[in-house]
Amino acid sequence: MPTHPSDEERETRDSGKAGAVRTRRKAERPGEILEAAFEEFVQKGYAATRLEDVAARAGVTKGTIYVYFENKEQVFVAMVRELSRPVHVQAEEFAESSASSTAEFLRAYLCFLYRILATDPRGREIFRLLIAEANRFPELIDEHHQNFMGPVVRRLRQSLEDGAERGEIRRSSILEFPELLLSPALSLNISMLLFSDRRPIDMERHFEIAVDLLLNGLLQRPAGKADQPGQSS
Amino acid sequence: MPTHPSDEERETRDSGKAGAVRTRRKAERPGEILEAAFEEFVQKGYAATRLEDVAARAGVTKGTIYVYFENKEQVFVAMVRELSRPVHVQAEEFAESSASSTAEFLRAYLCFLYRILATDPRGREIFRLLIAEANRFPELIDEHHQNFMGPVVRRLRQSLEDGAERGEIRRSSILEFPELLLSPALSLNISMLLFSDRRPIDMERHFEIAVDLLLNGLLQRPAGKADQPGQSS
DNA sequence: TAATATTGACTAACCGGTCAGTCAATAATT
DNA sequence: AATTATTGACTGACCGGTTAGTCAATATTA
């Protein structure tokens, strides 16, 4: 054996999963390749990305990519799917752990979505790629809608309806476009995408102000209960 | 010098440009090329666009493009500038014709911006290109901000301040992010970019509802000064 | 040794950019 | 007016470099 196994491989052997190093590599390669693909696609865009660079970043050569993926398009599609999954499960998880009053839930939910849409750099960049390549990969867009946007909007609508039922929220036609509640986060996202880091934005503050704007447009203000946007954490 | 003005020459000299086909072509070529470039870039994205296709669409050959433009990058930059200009002048024009109360002005201004950002397909697509290529053409982004976004935001802020002064609008910290007022339009824009035509949206209605959401968050309720957001920064 | 993962050289096509040359329109000359 | 010279917009063949995708050879492990 002229060459020595890399540290990773040796390490793996110790952890003694039923399979062998080989199968472990085989199992992990796709993920590594997709991770590398993400970074390259983000940096250069779909068309300008060289699969050879992706391979190099993943520590393999171009041929290996074609062992696991059909072609460049499929690498891209698989990458988007792979990196969207965590977002989807996060959203799912959040859905479980919901409770409390409508206003409170809305605030928490919007905060959560802010983090996903605007704060998390990965979410941001995936979003950029989706916008840029929407015409070339419509199926990805539809998936995204089905797995993320759809449920989120449904949840928002439900929440608004509940709130109206309970009298916490004024009845308004916003039920027709609940996604309007996401627009501040989206707007922030776009800003970040445009001015990568040239114009620093206080995202915390942005969120507070957006919530203030939204809630004071939503909450019925009979009197007493003041709806302050103040830091509740 | 015994120059003898022929009829053609006289005509040319008089009307300035009606004469020579040659010079006429020269004057119009760049615009034609940029128009063709716009369509190709929109369809395929920057990297995937072939200058040969641009040329063909403009009815010339590739060489001609290099008579008028330095390289592919400059074609792109010039195209964005060319197609952004009308938007900038429109915005300028609107700025002139402002009057009436704050609430009224805000509504009209937002409607105007809605049209530019979301309704007009060209503005939409330019926006997509900017988002997609923001990292590769930062100077374009800065121009866009300087020529459009900056003035718009300034105008919005001014308008909000005026409104607050007059008591039409509640004082709130939205003055820190007046661009939040644009977020519904932006959100609509993104939706259109993603689902090209697959999910038809009633833009008129969207606008009405967004304005309702925004204004009812902005306008002071006559019922009595319920609350201030108390954010003293 | 058998089975499989990986390599990297190779192909074929593609494309940005160049440039010597063409030709119609104009100007100068007779 | 007729002839010749000049201009310059436009062409299109070409070059050099690049890259998606292939596959026979090699390395690795069981």
Task: Note the pLDDT of residue A186.
Answer: 96
Identify which of B133, B186, B196 has the shortest CB distance to residue A186: B186
Task: Using DSSP, state whether B169 is helix, strand or coil.
Answer: strand
Closest residue in B to A142 (Cα–Cα)? B195
Does position B117 have pLDDT exceeding 70, yes or no? yes
Task: Note the pLDDT of residue A121.
Answer: 93
Task: Note the pLDDT of residue A202.
Answer: 95
Task: Note the pLDDT of residue A165.
Answer: 85
Residue of B66, B72, B69 whose CA lies nearest to B50: B72
Task: Note the pLDDT of residue B162.
Answer: 86
Instruction: State the Cα torsion A98-B215-A116-A42 to the nearest 10°.
Output: 160
Q: With contacts defined as CB-CB under 8 Å, which chain A residues touch B198?
A: 138, 142
pLDDT tens across B24-38, in order?
566 788 899 999 999
B114 touches B207 (CB < 8 A): yes
| Residue A191 contacts B where some CB pair is shorter than 8 Å | yes
Q: How far is the CA of B20 from the C1' of C25 (A)?
A: 8
Task: Note the pLDDT of residue A12.
Answer: 31
In the CATH scheme, what is the homologous superfamily, with its name and number, of domain A15-69?
Homeodomain-like (1.10.10.60)
A175 touches A158 (CB < 8 A): no
**DSSP string over B180-227:** GGGHHHHHHHHHHHHSTTTS---HHHHHHHHHHHHHHHHBPPTT----
Identify which of B209, B212, B217 has the shortest CB distance to residue A216: B217
Our CA angle for A202, B87, B70, nearest 5°, is 95
> Per-residue pLDDT for chain A (233 aa), expressed as one digit of tens each?
333 333 333 333 233 232 344 455 666 888 999 999 999 999 999 999 999 999 999 998 999 999 999 999 999 999 999 999 999 999 888 878 876 667 788 889 999 999 998 899 999 999 999 999 999 999 999 999 999 999 999 999 988 888 888 888 888 889 999 999 999 999 999 999 999 989 999 999 999 999 989 888 545 454 333 444 433 33
**DSSP string over B100-142:** S-HHHHHHHHHHHHHIIIII-HHHHHHHHHHHHHTTT-HHHHH
Residue of A134, A133, A34 whose CA lies nearest to A84: A34
Does position B83 have pLDDT exceeding 50, yes or no? yes
Task: Note the pLDDT of residue A154.
Answer: 93
Contact A217 B221 (CB under 8 A): no
Separation CA B171–CA B217 (nearest Å):
11
Does position B174 have pLDDT exceeding 80, yes or no? yes
Whole-angstrom CA distances from B54 to A92, B37, B43, B75, B140 are 46, 5, 11, 10, 21
Give the Cβ contact number of residue B150 at 10 Å.
12
A148 touches A84 (CB < 8 A): yes
Does position B188 have pLDDT exceeding 90, yes or no? yes
Q: How far is the CA of A50 from the C1' of D18 (A)?
A: 10
Residue of B16, B17, B57, B18 whose CA lies nearest to B34: B57
Contact A180 B179 (CB under 8 A): no
Separation CA A226–CA B11 (nearest Å):
76
| Cβ pairs bridging A and B (under 8 Å) | 171
A4: DSSP letter: P
- Give me chain B's average pLDDT, please: 81
User: Residue B125: CB partners within 8 Å, gap ≥ 6?
Assistant: B38, B42, B193
**Chain A interface, mutation test: which of B42, B169, B183, B192, most A Cβ atoms within 10 Å?**
B183
The pair of structure tokens assigned to A33 is 């390749």
Task: Note the pLDDT of residue B25.
Answer: 67
Task: Note the pLDDT of residue A80.
Answer: 96
Does position B10 have pLDDT exceeding 60, yes or no? no
pLDDT tens across B14-27, in order?
223 223 455 556 67
Instruction: State the Cα torsion B204-B206-B208-B214 to the nearest 10°.
Output: -150
Is the CB of A24 within 7 Å of strand C? Answer: no
Task: Note the pLDDT of residue B102.
Answer: 72
The residue ranges of every structural domain in chain A are: 15-69, 72-220
A128 touches B129 (CB < 8 A): no
Nucleotides of strand D under 7 angstroms from a protein beta carbon: 8-13, 18-24, 27-30
User: Residue A203: CB partners within 8 Å, gap ≥ 6?
Assistant: A114, A118, A119, A188
A72-220 is classed CATH 1.10.357.10: yes
Q: Which residue has the higher pLDDT, B59 or A97?
A: B59
Q: Which residue is nearest to nucleotide D18 (CA to C1')?
A: A50
Task: Note the pLDDT of residue B218.
Answer: 44
